[in-house]
Chain A
Amino acid sequence: DAGVTQSPTHLIKTRGQQVTLRCSPKSGHDTVSWYQQALGQGPQFIFQYYEEEERQRGNFPDRFSGHQFPNYSSELNVNALLLGDSALYLCASSLGIQQETQYFGPGTRLLVL
């Protein structure tokens, strides 16, 4: 049973660039949520996708956008990167938007120079 997978594992970008992170949910799951975890902090909710639509959004600027594909995989895009965007980006999946338990992937560590 495949768990949540994310790619790439690590990424280095410079300020002003754009980045795309990818997530494949756990087998059978149809809901994907994205979280940002800054160093030494707890994860912060970015947004959630279900049925290819953004269903809920945290307190993140419009530079953060996403997409969900028909196979339930998802992308997180960040434009005009800032140094403060350096963090571990975590993807979590669940079965149905009302499902309370989320399963996390290993994350993508983004470093912005």
Chain B
Amino acid sequence: AQSVTQLDSQVPVFEEAPVELRCNYSSSVSVYLFWYVQYPNQGLQLLLKYLSGSTLVKGINGFEAEFNKSQTSFHLRKPSVHISDTAEYFCAVTLTQGAQKLVFGQGTRLTINP
């Protein structure tokens, strides 16, 4: 079975500061990796995904993430955050083979302070 651990439940940062949201996963087979964002009272929006190839993936809104197979991590980064980035961020995995279901972490609440 797969599992995802988001190491920080809350991350407060100042506007224009860099941020890293940490995600580790566990799986005995190969997986695809995703980051989703959830703004207040909304559904989930795909930020970025890693399927194969370059381990550094770029997503929307200036976010990027790096897949590290040896450390089973997929940390999300942004060099300079804005107030509008305040949201809940979810890391998720799915198997590369077979019917797809997403397994999510518990989420990280990113709060941007002016």
Interface residues of chain A, those whose CB is within 8 Å of chain B, are 4, 6, 31, 33, 35, 40-45, 48, 50, 55-56, 58, 90, 92, 94, 97-107
Contact = CB atoms under 8 A, between A and B. Distances in A.
A58 B101 contact: yes
A100 B43 contact: no
B44 A90 contact: yes
Contact of A56 (B4, B45, B101): B101
A42 B105 contact: yes
Interface residues of B, number: 24
B100 A43 contact: no
B11 interface: no
Contacts of A97: 99-100
B105 A107 contact: no
B90 interface: yes
Contacts of A6: 43
A92 B107 CA distance: 18
B42 A106 contact: yes
B94 interface: yes
B102 A43 contact: yes
A58 B94 CA distance: 13
B48 to A, nearest CB: 11
Q: Which of A40, A42, A94 has the most CB of B within 10 A?
A: A42
Nearest to B104: A42
B63 interface: no
A6 B51 CA distance: 28
9 contacts: A33-B100, A35-B102, A42-B4, A42-B105, A43-B90, A50-B99, A98-B99, A102-B102, A105-B43
A45 B43 contact: no
Contacts of B87: none
Interface in B20-64: 32, 34, 36, 42-46, 49, 51
Interface string B63-98: 000000000000000000000000000101010100
A104 B43 contact: yes
